Structure 1
Amino acid sequence: MPLQDLPCLNLQGSTLSQTKRINKRRSRGCVGEALDTECTPTELIHQWSPSLKHQRLTSKGKENDCNQFVLARRSRRKKESTAADISWDDLPDELLLRILSCLPLQDLLRMSLVCKRWHCLAFDESLWHSVDLEQLTHMGPALQQVLKTGVRRLRCPRSFVEELHFTITGQLQIVQLDLSSSIIPTSALESIICHCRLLEYLSLEGLQLSDMIINSLSKNPNLLQLNLSGCSGFSAPALADMLQSCSRIEQLNISWCDFKNNHVKSVVDNVSSSVTHLNLSGYRESLTLDDVKVLVSRCPHIQTLDLSDSTLLMADSFSVLKQLKCLLHLSLSRCYHIHLAALTDMGKMFPVLSQLDVFGLVHDSHLPSLKKEIPHVCINSRPFSSIARPTPASRLVGPFNSRTMWNTKCQLRFKL
C-alpha cells in the first residue's frame, strides 16, 4: 500500500510538520525523496537500515539478488564435545578390545552380533588366547569356530565332539591342548593334530589314537609334557619314531595303554634323556628288570618315577633304581613281589627320597612301623599320579574355580 493511503499519516498537514519531518530525515543522513512519492517497504528499509545490516542482507546470497526481503537466521555455534557426547563408534579398536577382554564367553558372543565392526573385534585373536569349553555339549561347531580364532591354550576335557569338518589349511597356533577323557572320532582328532606344529603341553588321556596322530606329534619338536595315559590304536614303530623326534620331553605319562611287549621296549629304548617325570605303570607282565636297567641308563635325571602294577619287579630292582641320584618320588603300588622287609632298607638306599607310594603292599596297621624306619619319607600321600596331567586328580573335587590347565586358568570359560 502506498504511504499516502496510510491512515496514520496526514499528508495534507501544515508545511511546518512536513518541514520537520524532512529535516529529521536529513539529520539522520538519508538522502530521499519527499513523503508524497510512492515507495515500497523494501526501499524504505534499505534507506533506514544501518550500513552493517545492509551489508549482511546483501551478502546473504541468491535470496537478495532480486531485491526480495528475506529473514535470515544466524548459524548456531557448535557445542564443544564432552565425554557424554562420545559414542562407542568414536573409541579406537585398542580400547574396545581392552573392554571386551573383561567379558565372559557368552557375553562376548552376544556382542559379536551387534555390527560388523564388533563382530571382527569380538573374534580378534588377542581375546581368544586361552579358552575353556568344558561342559559344552555338541562341541563340534564350537570347537571348529574356536580353532579358527588362533587359540593358543584350549581346554575341553570330558567333552563330546561330533564329526568335525575341519577346513583350515594352515597350521594351528595351539601350544597347550587338553582333550582328556573326551569322546571324539579318530578322524576328527587327526584333522586337529595334523595341523599342530607348536605343541608344548598335550593331554590325550583315554582317547583312541592312530599312527597318523603319533606321526603328527613327532612334528612338534618343542613338546615338553605329553599325557597318553590309557590310549590305544597305535603301533610300536610309530611310538619309537615320535619319542626320538620329541627329544625335549620332560614329563611323559604313558601308563595303562593298550601295549604289548614291543610297545614297552619302544618306550624304554627311545625315551628322551631329558625326562625328569615318567609314569610307566600298569604293565604287569610286560615291564621287566632289564627294561628298568635300560631306562635308568638312558634317563639318569629322573625325579619322579611311577612303576606301579609291575608284578614282575622284585626287591632286586632297588639296586638298579638307587643309581637315580635325583629320585624324589617313587611309586611301587601293587608290585606284589616286593616284601615289606625290603622297604625298610629304602631309607639308606635312597637318601634324597621324599615320597613313596606303596598302596596294596603295606597294610594300614603296618604303616606306623614303616614310617619309623624311614621318617624322612612321606608314605602313600598321593594315590593319583600328576605326571603330565593338565589338572591333577586332587584338584577335580571342589568348585569350578579350581579348573586350571597346567597351573593356569583360561581367559574365556564356558559356564552353564
Structure 2
Amino acid sequence: MSSNSDDDVGAIVDFVGLRSCLDDSTITEDLDTAVSLEESPFSRYRIGQFAQGVIDFSSQYGSDYSISYTAPNITGRPTKYPLYGDFPETYAMRVYGDWWDKAPSAMLEIQPQNIPKIPAQDFIVVHFEDYTVPDKIVIFETFNPGAIIRIWAYTIIKTWVCLWEATEKASNSLPHEARSFLPTIKNIGLPTRIIRLEFNHSDLNYFTEIDGILLYGQNVSIRNLHQIVDQYYNRGKSGTILSKLQSIQFRPDFRDDYKNQLQDFISKDLNKFVTSLPNDNEITIDNTKAEKQLDLNDMPFEIMLKVCSYLDLQSLFRMSLVCKTLYAVTTHPLLYRELNLKPFWHLGSNELLCTLAKRATLLRKLDLSWCGLYNSISPTEFKKFIQQCGDNLTHLVLNSCKFLNASCIETIGIVCDNLKELSLRNCSTDPPLLNFSCLANLKNLERLDLFQTVIEMDLLLTMLESNRKLKHLNLAFCGVNVSMDVVAEQIATYNKQLISLDMWKSHYLSAVGLQALSNCHDLEEVDFGWCLREASLGDSLQNFIKSCPKLKKLFLATARGITDSDVRNIANICPNLEQLDLMGVLGIPKDRYYELLVKCSKLQLLDLSFCDNIDEFEVKQWSQIFKVNIKCSHVPMEYTN
C-alpha cells in the first residue's frame, strides 16, 4: 500500500424505452443472430457496462474519509489498467497472505466442518445500471492478481446464483503484470444487475488491487421483468409427474358434485397415467421372506450422533429427510451447539432461523456473518432467535450483518450476558444507526472486535472497565471521535491482561498513549499502523517494547516518529518478534534493517515497502540469507516523475 438454469425464459419485450445511444459506462454491440420479439424476453442488443456503485463490502484498506484504496474505486471505467503496480486509485482489502491467521489474535472457526475447501475471506457487492442476462464478466486486476474465488449474481427472482467458482487457490507464480480476468461463467438465463465477488488472499504475496468490473449480457427491458418472473415460476411448477400428465394430455373429469371429485379422479382418470408408464418402471413385490438384517434402528443412538457430529449443516438437513430415525438423530440439539451460517450466507433466511431455533436449544457459538442482505433475515426474526437460543451463547460473530439495528443490539446486551467473544466488524459506519448502550451489560468478554464499526467513546470506555478479562481488542477504523490516548489509559488501568490490540487507522494515539500501554506486559500483538502520527515519540516506543517482552507481531506502518534508534531498540529488545511492519517509515539506514534480520532470529515477515535507502536486489539477498519474507513494494514511476 502506498503511503499515500441454461434454458431461456419466454416473454415479450417492449423496445420503446430502448436508448438510441449509451453513456460512457456502457458498451453496445448487435447480437450475431436476430431474435424474434415474440419469442424472447430480451433485447436484441448485447451490452457491456461497468459497475455503477458499491452496495456492500467486508473490508477496505482505505478509510471512509479518503479516496485511496477504497471500495468505490472499483466502479466506473478502469483508471490504471493495463498498468501494473500499487495504485491508490484502486480497491484493496485489509489483509494478504496467511499472516493474520498466524498471529496471536487469530480466531478459531465456529463449526469448522462447514468451511469449504477454498473459504472466502472478503467480499464486495456492486450494482450496474441496466438489467442483463450475464454471459461474460471481466475483472481488471492491477496488483497481485489471483484472489478472486467466486462470482455471484443476485437475480430478479431474489436468489443468489454462483456464476463461477475457483477449483484451486491462486498460485504465487502468477506473473507480476496486470490482467483482465475473464472466467467462463454459468448461463443462468435470468436478468441481474448485482454482482458479488469473493476473495481468498491466503496464498498471495501482497495486497491485491482491483481497478474495475465489466459485465456483458443481453439487455432486458425493465418493463418486462415481471413477465420474466411470472414465466419462471410457472415453468418451475412442472415437476416430473406433472410433466408426464401434460404429455398424455391428462385432464381430470370434474363434475358438478365436487364432493366426489377425488373418487372420480381415482376411479376414472388415474389409470390413464399409471398404464402409460414404461414397463421397466413396474414395481415387483417379492413375497419371499428375506433373512433379517441389521438396519439403522439397531445402531446405538449415541454412535449415530457421533457420526453426524462430523457433518456440515447442509448434510444434516439433507439426512433429516431420509427417514424418521435419521430425522431424530440429525435434529438433536447436541449437533447444534455451534452454528456457522457464514459459508451459507446466500441461504440465510427467516425460515432457516425459525427452523434452527427449534434445534439449537443448547447453542453456545453462533456466526451469522455476511447474512441478511436484502432483508433475507429481518431484525424481528433475529431477535426471536436470540431470545430463544441466546441465553448460553459464549461466542457471537455478526460481521457485516446489515439487518442489525438498535433493537437487535439491545437484545444481545440483555440476553447474551454470558458472551466471551463478540465480533461486530463492519456493522455500522454512523453512530445513530446502532445504539450500543446495552452492550455495557456484558461483563465477561475476552474478545471484542469492532473493526470498521463506529462506537461512542464513553460506551467503549465503560465496556473496557466492565470487562477486565479482555484479551483481544480490535478498534481499527472505529471512528474519528474516539481518542486512542484516552482508550490506552483505560486499557492500562483495567485491561492489563490484554494479548492483542489493533488500532490500525484509528486516531489520536501519541507518545502519551504508547507510554500508558507499557503497563500491559502480556501483549503479544499490536498494530499501530497509520495511527502513530506524531513527528516525535521520544522514549515511549523504547519503553513500550521493553515492557512487552512477549511481542510477536509489531506493526508500525507509516509511523512518523520512528527513528534509527527505535529500530535498533526493536532489534535488541524483541527476540520473540515474528512479524514486523515498517512500511513507509523513512530515514532509516539499510544497516539497521540488516541488524534487525541478524538479531531477530524468529522473524518471518518484514514489510519494508516504500522505505528508503534500500533496493530490491538487497532485499532478495536478505530474504535468501535469513529465510524471511520481506516485502518491498515501491511507488509506481508515474508518482515519482
Q: TM-score, normalised by structure 2?
A: 0.41
Identify the residue that residue 35 of structure 1 maps to in structure 2: none
Paired with 2:484 and 2:536, the residues of 1 have a C-alpha distance of 22
Report how far residue 193 of structure 1 moved: 5.2
Structure 2 alignment gaps of length 5 or more? 1-288, 609-641
Contact kept, 8 Å, 1:215 with 1:242, in 2: the verdict is: no
Contact 1:340–1:362 (CA under 8 A) maintained in structure 2: no
Contact 2:557 2:583 in 1 (8 A): yes
Matching residue's letter, 1:231: T
Q: Distance in 2 between matches of 1:174 and 1:99?
A: 24
Shift in Å, 1:144: 4.7
Aligned to 1:275: 498
Q: Is the 8 A contact 2:549 2:573 kept in 1?
A: no
- Kindly indicate whether the alpha-carbon contact (under 8 Å) linking 2:488 and 2:513 is maintained by their aligned counterparts in 1: no
More strand by share: 2
Whether 2:470 is the aligned partner of 1:249: answer yes
* 1:128 matched to 2:336: yes
Q: Is 1:306 aligned to 2:523, yes or no? A: no
**Which residue of 1 is the match for residue 391 of structure 2?**
172
Q: 2:450 aligns with which of 228, 234, 240?
A: 228
- State the one-letter code of the partner of 2:518: V
Asked which structure has the greater CA Rg, the reply is 1
User: Could you tell me how far 1:153 is from its partner in structure 2?
Assistant: 2.6
For residues 335 and 569 of structure 2, the distance between their equivalents in structure 1, rounded to whole angstroms, comes to 55
Match of 1:201 in 2: 421
Letter paired with 1:248: K
Partner of 2:514: 292
Mapped contact 1:138–1:160 kept (Cα < 8 A):
no
Q: Could you say which residue in structure 1 is the equivalent of 2:581?
A: 357
**CA 1:218–1:330 in structure 2 vs 1: closer, same or farther (change >3 Å)?**
farther
Query: Secondary structure at 1:131's aligned position in 2?
Result: strand
Look up the equivalent residue of 2:584 and give its one-letter code: G
Cα separation, 2, equivalents of 1:140 and 1:131: 14
- Amino acid in the other structure paired with 1:235: E
Q: Distance in 2 between matches of 1:251 and 1:113?
A: 42
CA contact (8 A) 1:344 1:374 kept: no
Instruction: Please show how residues 391-406 of structure 1 align to structure 2 within 5 Å.
Output: none
Aligned to 1:24: none
Paired position in structure 1 for 2:369: 157
Cα pair 1:296 1:320 within 8 Å, conserved = yes
CA distance in 2, matches of 1:303, 1:253: 14
Distance in 2 separating the partners of 1:173 and 1:129: 10
- Please report how far the alpha carbon of residue 260 of structure 1 lies from its aligned counterpart in structure 2 after TM superposition: 1.7
Matched residue type, 1:282: K
In 2, distance between residues paired with 1:109 and 1:273? 45
Contact 1:214 1:242 in 2 (8 A): no
Q: Which whole-Å CA distance do the structure 2 matches of 1:136 and 1:353 have between them?
A: 37
Q: Secondary structure at the match of 1:346?
A: helix
Distance 1:104-1:261 versus aligned 2 partners, 3 A rule? closer
Shift of 1:128: 1.4
Shift of 1:334: 0.9
- The 5 A counterparts of 1:75-86 are 84=293, 86=294
1:348 equivalent in structure 2: 572
SS at 1:333's partner residue? coil
Aligned residue pairs: how many? 299
- In structure 2, relative to structure 1, the CA distance for the partners of 1:102 and 1:167 (3 Å cut) is same
Letter in 2 for 1:128: Y
1:137 paired to 2:311: no
Cα distance change on mapping 1:91 and 1:212 into 2, 3 Å: farther
User: CA 1:138–1:188 in 2, change beyond 3 Å: closer, same or farther?
Assistant: farther
Return the alpha-carbon distance in structure 2 between the equivalents of residues 115 and 331 of structure 1: 55
Residue type of the alignment partner of 1:140: S
Aligned residue among 302, 306, 312 for 1:98: 306
2:559 equivalent to 1:335: yes
| Equivalent position amino acid for 2:356 in 1 | V
Deviation at 1:349, TM superposition (A): 4.8
1:207-246 deviation digits (Å, cap 9, x = unpaired):
127775453364241x2222211111x3222111211111
Q: Structure 1 residues 322, 266: closer, same or farther in 2, change over 3 A?
A: closer
Tell me by how many angstroms 1:331 deviates: 1.7
- Could you tell me how far apart the structure 2 residues matched to 1:345 and 1:326 are? 12
Q: Distance in 2 between matches of 1:243 and 1:382?
A: 32
Q: Separation in 2 of the partners of 1:185 and 1:301?
A: 34
Deviations 1:314-366 (A, max 9, x none): 34132331441424232211112324564234323545545421111159x96
Flag the 1:114–1:189 CA change in 2: closer, same or farther, 3 A: farther
Q: Aligned partners of 2:497 and 2:593: how far apart in 1?
A: 33
Distance 2:297 2:575 in 1: 67
Residues 122 and 212 of structure 1: CA distance in aligned 2, closer, same or farther (over 3 Å) = farther
Identity of aligned residues (%): 20
Unaligned runs of 5+ residues in structure 1 are 1-79, 384-416
Partner-residue secondary structure (3-state), 2:384: coil
Deviation at 1:311, TM superposition (A): 0.7
- 1:203–1:305 Cα change, 3 Å: same
> Retained in 2: the 8 A contact 1:160–1:183?
yes
- Residue deviations 1:151-204 (CA, integer Å, cap 9, x gap): 323334333353232325454332223322343322445444542133223322
Q: Is the 8 A contact 1:315 1:342 kept in 2?
A: no
Distance 1:313 1:287, change over 3 A: farther
**Matching residue's letter, 1:163:** S
Asked whether the 8 Å contact 2:528–2:556 carries over to 1, the reply is yes
Change (3 A) 1:266 1:338: closer
How far apart, in 1, do the equivalents of 2:568 and 2:606 lie?
A: 17
Normalising by structure 1, report the TM-score: 0.61
Q: CA RMSD in A?
A: 3.5
Which of the pair is proportionally richer in helix?
Answer: 1
Q: Which runs of 4+ in 1 moved over 6 A?
A: none
Q: Distance in 2 between matches of 1:382 and 1:135?
A: 35
SS in structure 2 at match of 1:375: helix
1:35-85 deviations in whole A, cap 9, x for unaligned? xxxxxxxxxxxxxxxxxxxxxxxxxxxxxxxxxxxxxxxxxxxxx99760x
Which residue identity does 2:536 align to in structure 1?
Answer: M
Take 2:402 and 2:589, find their aligned partners in 1: how far apart are those partners?
Answer: 42
